Amino acid sequence: MEIVSSYVREQKRYTKKDLKSIFVFDESGVEKFIKNLKAYGVMKSVKNNTEQMEMSDLMDDDVKITDETADSGDCLYVFNYVGIITCGNRVIKVFPKYLLSKEEAPLDEMKQVIKVLERYSRSEQQIINMFNGNGENRSFNILAVILFLLNDYYEYGIYTNSEDIVEINGEGEILWGKTIDESFALIEDNRPYYMELYTGKTVDDDMDYFKRLHECVLTECSQQLCNAQLDNLFDMDKLELSEESLQNFGDKEYILERIYKELNVQFNTRRQILLKTIYAYISQDKRMLDENDGISMFGTTAYHAVWEKVCAEVFDNKLNTTLGQLKMSMPLAGQYKEMKKKKLIDIIEKPIWEGTDTTEIASDTLIPDLISIPKVEGVDNFIIFDAKYYNIQLEKGKSLRGNPGVGDVTKQYLYQLAYRSFIKAHNIAVVKNCFLMPTEQNGIIKKGTAKMPMLEALGLENISIRLIPAKMLYEHYLTQSKMDISLLEL
């Protein structure tokens, strides 16, 4: 079976002819491919016109075509996803939309994106998405299961069952209770001397059924990843831990029964999760790249949330820090002393609704992406950031495109207004507003400013636009280090 493995760009508009060429399909094959990807929500279709061909973002209003077979030339197709998708023997590697100059194989950039996705998924959830879709479109996510099993092995090693052994004069820890109760002692100068000491040690059972089963499953998973040509992308060496096949462990029902019984006596949480994952892997009896309509995925349809998370961590977001823990030049002032256990985000006012005989406070309010309060050259700064996953076009001779909407701009001003009292009470003289957007370039780009004169007239800061090298930001995120905000030159 020939594997077709290709790169595509998130949000780029592709024609059906493009997809046939990239993934080597005939007419019926590409229609089935498109229908399948749309059913799992990783592909959208838009009208085929010049305006759409020039777009780099997908807006809700763009998704106007909902054809099932896509058998006309009226559609353009868009991958609203970043990550890896397998569909039958096709491997789809979707790279982020800001990599505008990368058309062929952005391997190094994609490897870093994969690492970011892995760290993001670990921080956001501790579950394995074993299934994609629902109803008729539900399929076993074999890729996610394989990656979990391999990553678990690299972090924790092989599943082992151990046995406690008692020896006489062994090298393990002396069991004084057993030695005193059961061993003969010689007394000299009122001190006992034991000729035989009972010692204990724990040894792993190398022939344990579940250890061997784990090694067999890992070897099989590693082989599948190599067959899909994804081992390099995920930076995983090929594992050859076992020469056994699953048939050596009994039929499927017997293996599953053994795992079920082991689960009943295993109380270690990590081992329980591992056993349940192996159970799912064996019970589903699925393989990557099988000739079927199943979809397997590792990635996200909401990469904007990943960008926001990365920016928040790298630029030291303080929104969820309590006021008492903020490190400012002056201590908490006046009314804020009584609020020291509240988070910075909690002091934003909420709308008040007054009726003729009642007053209600709404539960929702303004929520900034991130706020940083760094010291720059010894002076407190209050910086309001908004992480925008956009490809902005703001050049002379070109129409404005890929920009945040008016609502995003006005809210950014309002965030400063919401914190104005706090800023004034703590004598913070420097306040900045900034949109953070990704770029494939190597240096920070001072792109320009977004402003509304009527809000500027209220003494509010206009919004700087900075394009941040995604590679640089990801390096900080993966090493859990902070970026020097002064580099933005706000």
Q: Tell me, yes or no, whether 150 and 172 share the same domain.
A: no
Range of the domain at 172: 162-204
Is the CB of residue 83 less than 8 Å from the CB of residue 94? yes
> What is the pLDDT at residue 295?
83
Q: Tell me, yes or no, whether 98 and 213 share the same domain.
A: yes
Per-residue H/E/C for 40-103? CCCEEEEECCHHHHCCCCCCHHHCCCCCCCCCCCCEEEEECCEEEEEECCEEEEEECCCCCCCC
CA dihedral 97, 100, 105, 110 (to 10 degrees): -40
Q: Tell me, yes or no, whether 363 and 293 share the same domain.
A: no
Q: Tell me, yes or no, whether 256 and 343 share the same domain.
A: no
**DSSP for 290-318, written as a single string:** -SSS-EEEEEES-HHHHHHHHHHHHTT--
Q: Tell me, yes or no, whether 376 and 239 share the same domain.
A: no
Is the CB of residue 294 less than 8 Å from the CB of residue 139? yes
Q: Tell me, yes or no, whether 307 and 295 share the same domain.
A: no
Domain termination site, one of 248, 269, 300: 300
Domain termination site, one of 148, 180, 204: 204
Nearest one of 142, 134, 150 to 87, comparing CA atoms? 142
> What is the pLDDT at residue 479?
95
- Encode pLDDT of 257-292 as tens digits: 999 988 988 888 888 989 999 999 998 877 777 766
Q: Tell me, yes or no, whether 188 and 214 share the same domain.
A: no
Burial class (CB in 10 A: 0-12, 13-18, 19+), 121: buried
> What is the pLDDT at residue 130?
62
Q: Which amino acid is at 490?
A: L
> What is the pLDDT at residue 70?
44
Is the CB of residue 426 less than 8 Å from the CB of residue 334? no
Indicate the SS3 state at residue 143: helix
Give the number of other Cβ atoms within 10 Å of residue 438's Cβ: 25
Residue ranges of the chain with pLDDT lower than 70? Answer: 1, 50-73, 102-103, 124-138, 162-165, 201-207, 291-293
**Where do we find the tokens 């399909």?**
25
- Total structural domains in the chain? 3
pTM of the shown model? 0.83
> What is the pLDDT at residue 133?
58
Q: Tell me, yes or no, whether 266 and 222 share the same domain.
A: yes
Residues 6+ apart with CB under 8 A from 81: 10, 42, 43, 94, 297, 299, 300, 301, 303
Q: Tell me, yes or no, whether 342 and 472 share the same domain.
A: yes
Domain termination site, one of 270, 300, 330: 300
Residues 6+ apart with CB under 8 A from 153: 214, 218, 239
Q: Tell me, yes or no, whether 139 and 172 share the same domain.
A: no
Q: Tell me, yes or no, whether 246 and 376 share the same domain.
A: no
Indicate the SS3 state at residue 287: coil
Q: Tell me, yes or no, whether 190 and 270 share the same domain.
A: no
> What is the pLDDT at residue 64?
46
Residues 6+ apart with CB under 8 A from 130: 140, 141, 144, 145, 277, 280
DSSP state for residue 37 in the 8-state scheme: H
Give the number of other Cβ atoms within 10 Å of residue 63's Cβ: 14
